[in-house]
Amino acid sequence: MTKNNLNAVIFAVAIVLSAVFLGRAYVNRSKKDGEISVTGLGKKDFTSDLIIWDATFVEEAYELKDAYRRLKQAKQLIEKYLANKGVPDSQIVFEAVDVAKNTRRLYNERGNYVGEEFSGYRLRQQFTIESEEVEKIEQLSREITDLLNQGVTLYSESPRYYYTKLADLKIEMISKATEDARVRAEKIAENSGGNLGQLKSAKMGVFQITGQNSNENYSWGGAFNTSSKNKTASITMKLIYQIK
C-alpha cells in the first residue's frame, strides 16, 4: 500500500470514529431520567372547639338621655340573663354605643317631598361572646327569645365556629397527603417495571376547610368555613420522583 493510500484509509477511519463518538454524545445529552408526578390527598373530619356569637340590642327615644337609660336597662337584663346561663364576664365583650338620629320624611298636601323632621334617637350596642363551651353558647343563641319576652329588642347573628389546634391539624394533613402521594408513586413505578428514585420536588396545595357533608366548593385561596360546627380539612401534596 502506498503512502497516499495509507493516509486516505487513516482519514476515513478517523471520520467514522468521530461520527460514532458525536452520535453517542448526542444520545447521552438527549436522554432524560424518567419522572413520576403524583398528587396525594390528606383529609380529616373534626369538630370545632371555639364558638363566637354576636348580638346587638337597640333602644329608641325622643330624648337622648331617655334612650341611654333604656339601653342601660336592656344591658342589665342581658348581663343578668347571661350570668344565669353560666356565661362568665370574661367571655363577654360589650362594644361602644352607636348613636344615630331618627328622621321622618315630610310631604305637602300635594304629596311632594319637602324635607325631613327629627323624630328621636336610636342607640345600638353589640356584644360578643367567645367561648370554648361550644354546645352551651350554641344553645344559648337559639334561646334568645327569652330576652325578647323581657322587652329587649335584640338582633342575633349566627354563631361562628373555629378550631384552636389548626396548626397541628395542618401538619397532620400534610403528612397524610405526602404519604398518600408516595404510595401512589410506588404503585406507578412498580406497574411500569421500574423503581422509585429520589424525590425531586414537593409542592403543597391550598389548605381547605369546609362543612362536613356540604356542597361547598374549594377556592384558589383556600376555603375557610366558619358557619359549621363539624368540618372537614383537606390538603394536597404534589410530589415528583425519579425513576430508576
Do the strands 196-204 and 230-243 form a parallel or antiparallel pair, or are they unpaired? antiparallel
Q: What is the pLDDT of residue 7?
A: 46
37 and 26 housed in the same domain: no
DSSP 170-236: HHHHHHHHHHHHHHHHHHHHHHTT--EEEEEEEEE---EEEETT--PPP-TT--B--S-SEEEEEEE
What CATH number should be reported for the domain holding residue 175? Answer: 3.30.110.170
Q: Where are the alpha helices (DSSP H) in 39-164?
A: 64-84, 134-142, 145-148
Contact partners, residue 190, CB within 8 Å, separation at least 6: none
Task: Check residue 199 and give its pLDDT.
Answer: 92
85 and 131 together in one domain:
yes
Give the separation between CA 50 and CA 53, rounded to whole angstroms.
Answer: 10
Are residues 84 and 151 part of one domain? yes
Determine the Cα–Cα distance for residues 52 and 141; give it in Å rounded to an integer: 10
Let me know whether 59 and 128 are in one domain.
Answer: yes
Q: Which contiguous run of DSSP H or E holds residue 3? A: helix 3-30
Last residue of a domain, one of 111, 136, 161: 161
Same-domain check for residues 110 and 182: no
- Residue numbers of the domain that contains 178: 33-47+165-243
Q: Are 54 and 139 found together in one domain?
A: yes
Same domain, 93 and 195: no
pLDDT recorded at residue 128:
98
**What's residue 1's pLDDT?**
53
The angle subtended at Cα 12 by Cα 9 and Cα 17, nearest 5°, is 125
**pTM, entire model:** 0.78
At residue 222, the pLDDT reads 82
pLDDT value at residue 21: 39
Which residues of the chain, if any, have pLDDT below 50? 2-32
pLDDT recorded at residue 32: 45
pLDDT in tens, 200-231: 999 999 999 999 988 877 777 788 999 999 99
Residues 25 and 79 in one domain: no
Q: What is the pLDDT of residue 217?
A: 76
In angstroms, rounded to a whole number, what is the distance separating the alpha carbons of residues 117 and 42?
62
**Number of domains composing the chain:** 3
Q: In this structure, are 38 and 23 located in the same domain?
A: no
Whether residues 234 and 131 share a domain: the answer is no
Residue 71 shares a structural domain with residue 150: yes
Question: In this structure, are 192 and 100 located in the same domain?
Answer: no
> Residues with Cβ < 8 Å from 42, sequence gap 6 or more?
172, 173, 174, 175, 176, 177, 178, 180, 234, 235, 236, 237
